[in-house]
Amino acid sequence: MGIVIDTSALVSLERGGRSWDTALPDVSPEPGVVPAIVYAELLIGVRLADTPRRANARRAKINALIAVAPIVDFGEAAARRWSELYAALGKLGRMIPSNDLAVAATALELGFGVLVGPKDESHFRSVPDLNVSVLSPS
């Protein structure tokens, strides 16, 4: 099995002063991947940087991350899984944020779990059959 890395885990690592690319092997023995939606969320930080220097530094961090945890596309199979989850959770009245639903659909389609930050992101637990690992606070 592997692990799909949620943005909340990356934010927590960064706030703890840990480099994403070097911290991941310590955090999870499972191979990690970055869902396309998480990659997009990280790129927002590049686009919103207040200086070119900060934008370049953020881009370098992202490049180092995806060198050890490749980007996984949100393709047809994940899209089908997303729609199934959306319908099922909607019927139960337990909808979760759309980006997190894409993370969950990607993980389930790959047969992977999801790594979230230490604040838990408990809404992921609404997704049937999803293995959620919580990053230990550092």
pLDDT in tens, 81-107: 999 999 999 999 999 999 999 999 999
Residues 7, 96, 10: CA angle, nearest 5 degrees: 10
Quote the pLDDT of residue 68: 92
**Residue 137 pLDDT > 80:** no
Burial class (CB in 10 A: 0-12, 13-18, 19+), 122: exposed
Confidence of residue 138 (pLDDT cuts 50, 70, 90): low
- From the CB of residue 113, how many other CB atoms can be counted at a distance below 10 Å? 19
**Residue 116 pLDDT > 90:** yes
Task: Name the average pLDDT for the chain.
Answer: 93
Is pTM beyond 0.85 here? yes
